[in-house]
Amino acid sequence: MTNKELANLIFPNITKTVEDYEKMYPTRDLKEGAVVTRYAPSPTGFVHIGNLLQAVMARKVATQTEGVFFLRIEDTDQERLVENGITNIIRDLNNFNITFDEGMLNETDEKGNYGPYIQSKRKEIYQTFAKELIEKGLAYPCFYTKEELEEIREVQEASKERIGCYGKYAKYRDLPNEMIAEKIENGESYIIRLKSPGNFDKKVIINDLIRGKIEIPENDLDIVIIKKDGLPTYHFAHLVDDHLMKTTHVIRGDEWVSSLPIHVQLFEVFGFKAPKYAHLSPLMKMDGDKKRKISKRKDPEAAVNFYHEVGIPEEAVLLYLMTVANSNFEAWLDANPNGSIDDFNFDFKKVSASGALFDLEKMRNISKNFISRLKAIDVYDRTLTYAKEFDTEFASILEKYKEYSISIFNIEREQKKPRKDYATFKDVKGEVWYMYDEYFTGELNYEYGKINEKEEIQKILSTYFNKYYDVNDDKDTWFNKIKELSSELGYCPDMKEYKVNPDAYKGNVADISTVIRVAVTTKSQTPDLYEILRLLGVDRIKNRISKI
Ligand code: GLU
């Protein structure tokens, strides 16, 4: 029985050839140096912050080189399917402005000429490639039962041998075709294995774009390429898909480094050019004094949804991730504080090969800077969008007092050194609530400082608002009046003079401002008091101080 006859017995329905597929997936018409890369998740609906980092890099290199970035769904593990898994992944990435040039658009639709972009619809293609290997005597059916494989593993473990199907353990590798056919005809179940041409005593050298030269023993395992259900393993799908889809760069997690010898061997067996590889280390975090991977189970910040829920602007998350991706990005951002990652030149050589420490505080700082540079109207719009999803009461207040709210956000903004009050859109309410009467009710906790007696406070407030305060004053006049008020009540109007002679006064002008500030806001620290008073307006102020 010839190999061809055996191949036909195993795959009677496969009529196309590898050659046919080569024609259906022509070379892409891109300029020299264009990177074709992909994001290839299982459809679990979950995007880990490490995946986002990977997608950011991939999107960036593709854009930067006028290449292609596509989304391929790897659903060969049919047990891990989740409802709306694909749609949720796309939504989460779109939230970070990460879009795909080709690939799945939702659970069923796709765009692009190199599909299908979901592996379960590519069964026939994988089988065509496997069939060709069988025809060439480079793959074979293997009839081990689960129990037999388990036994082999136990033997290998006990004698400290390498685990897997190789050498004397590859029992079906050289079984004559007639005997194979007989077993198949008897209905015995099987999988397809590669007949590995590798030699474990020899080394293969792979140049990883991040890790540099990797030298590992060749693969000599007869790895599974087609499983019982007719679907491929990750290794075989990687070969077939990335070859046909013309992937030039594979950016993926470093858990795949150890399988590299398998992958380069598969490309060699077919005579295909292997893509370039960039293996990323996982993001780490400190747990007590130990470093560990950020975990989906333990850390809320592992899920990219977290950032959306706490209202960190996408741009800030991306800026932060770029500082993790490229070691020179932070310096670049300092030099270009208004820059976006689109203007930065990403370089694989600047990616750290060891796991970066994920620093949420640093992300919050970047976010603070980012929000501080937004225009007031943008802070308004984005806080409103956030509130509509997560705090509808605040959303309706923002909508009711639109112009007033924009003016609040405008305090100490749109200037050279803007104020940095909010790291997230969730923080906003906690910083501005006292500007709205709706929230200025109930038990109010006044943070008075040095001046605490009620009578003194009332005297300061009534003298100030009855005698001095005029909403039409400019800022200098306003401040001079506070100084005058201080003098009148026995407080030093000048801080320098006060330092020299503190005992001559009841206190100083700053104590007076604090009383006014706390009376109208409850807070001892706020943005510019002059602006706050102006915005609150006389009626609101009078109403507030009448309750003290
Ligand atoms: N589906 C694989 C994973 O999620 C993709 C790895 C790759 O990018 O090739 O790990």
Q: What is the DSSP string of 127-153?
A: HHHHHHHHHTTSEEEE---HHHHHHHH
Instruction: List, in order of start, the domains of the chain with CATH numbers.
Output: 5-10+124-280 (3.40.50.620), 376-435 (no CATH), 454-545 (1.10.10.350)
Residue 18, CA atoms < 13 Å, CB-side half-sphere:
17
Q: How far, in Å, is the centroid of ligand 1 from the Cα of 224?
A: 17
Q: How far, in Å, is the centroid of ligand 1 from the Cα of 234?
A: 8
Predicted confidence at residue 247, as pLDDT, reads 98
- Ligand 1 in contact with 40 (CB < 6 A)? yes
Residue nearest to atom 3 of ligand 1 (CA): 41
- Ligand 1 in contact with 252 (CB < 6 A)? yes
Angle between helical axes of 49-64 and 85-94 (0-180°, round to 10): 60
Predicted confidence at residue 548, as pLDDT, reads 85
Taking the C-alpha atoms of residue 377 and residue 165, their distance in angstroms, rounded to an integer, is 64
Predicted confidence at residue 116, as pLDDT, reads 98
> Can you say whether residue 96 is alpha, beta or left, with left for phi > 0 and alpha for psi between -120 and 50 degrees?
alpha
Which atom belonging to ligand 1 lies closest to the Cα atom of 54? 8
Residue nearest to atom 1 of ligand 1 (CA): 41
- Ligand 1 in contact with 45 (CB < 6 A)? no
Which atom belonging to ligand 1 lies closest to the Cα atom of 39? 8
Q: How far, in Å, is the centroid of ligand 1 from the Cα of 228?
A: 21
Dihedral (Cα; 526, 434, 362, 283), 10-degree rounding: 170
Instruction: Please choose from 74, 78, 247 the residue to mutate so as to test ligand 1's pocket, defined by most ligand atoms within 8 A of CB.
Output: 74
Enumerate the β-bridge partners of residue 48.
Answer: 303
Q: How far, in Å, is the centroid of ligand 1 from the Cα of 82?
A: 17
Predicted confidence at residue 272, as pLDDT, reads 97
Question: Residue 163's CB: how many other CB atoms inside 10 A?
Answer: 11
* Nearest CA-CA partner of 468 in 480, 452, 453: 480
Taking the C-alpha atoms of residue 128 and residue 11, their distance in angstroms, rounded to an integer, is 8
Residue 39: burial class (beta carbons within 10 Å; 0-12, 13-18, 19+):
buried
Q: How far, in Å, is the centroid of ligand 1 from the Cα of 375?
A: 40
Tens of pLDDT along the chain (548 residues) come to 999 999 999 999 999 999 999 999 999 999 999 999 999 999 988 899 999 999 999 999 999 999 999 999 999 987 767 889 999 999 999 999 999 999 999 999 999 999 999 999 999 999 999 999 999 999 999 999 999 999 999 999 999 999 999 999 999 999 999 999 999 999 999 999 999 999 999 999 999 999 999 999 999 999 999 999 999 999 999 999 999 999 999 999 999 999 999 999 999 999 999 999 999 999 999 888 999 999 999 999 999 999 999 999 999 999 999 999 998 999 999 899 888 889 999 999 999 888 889 999 999 999 999 999 999 999 999 999 999 999 999 999 999 999 999 999 999 999 999 999 999 999 999 999 999 999 999 899 999 988 989 999 999 999 999 999 999 999 999 999 999 999 999 999 999 999 999 999 999 999 999 999 999 999 999 999 999 999 999 999 999 999 88
Predicted confidence at residue 453, as pLDDT, reads 92
Task: Please name the amino acid found at residue 349.
Answer: K
Predicted confidence at residue 338, as pLDDT, reads 82
Instruction: Please choose from 234, 239, 245 the residue to mutate so as to test ligand 1's pocket, defined by most ligand atoms within 8 A of CB.
Output: 234
pTM (2 decimals)? Answer: 0.89
Instruction: Please choose from 39, 100, 118, 256 the residue to mutate so as to test ligand 1's pocket, defined by most ligand atoms within 8 A of CB.
Output: 256
Residue nearest to atom 4 of ligand 1 (CA): 41
Q: How far, in Å, is the centroid of ligand 1 from the Cα of 49?
A: 15
Q: 190, 183 in Cβ contact below 8 A? A: yes
Residue 354: burial class (beta carbons within 10 Å; 0-12, 13-18, 19+):
exposed
Q: How far, in Å, is the centroid of ligand 1 from the Cα of 131?
A: 24
* Nearest CA-CA partner of 319 in 339, 299, 305, 291: 339
Taking the C-alpha atoms of residue 141 and residue 9, their distance in angstroms, rounded to an integer, is 11
Taking the C-alpha atoms of residue 525 and residue 305, their distance in angstroms, rounded to an integer, is 32
Predicted confidence at residue 178, as pLDDT, reads 96
Q: How far, in Å, is the centroid of ligand 1 from the Cα of 401?
A: 48
Predicted confidence at residue 79, as pLDDT, reads 73
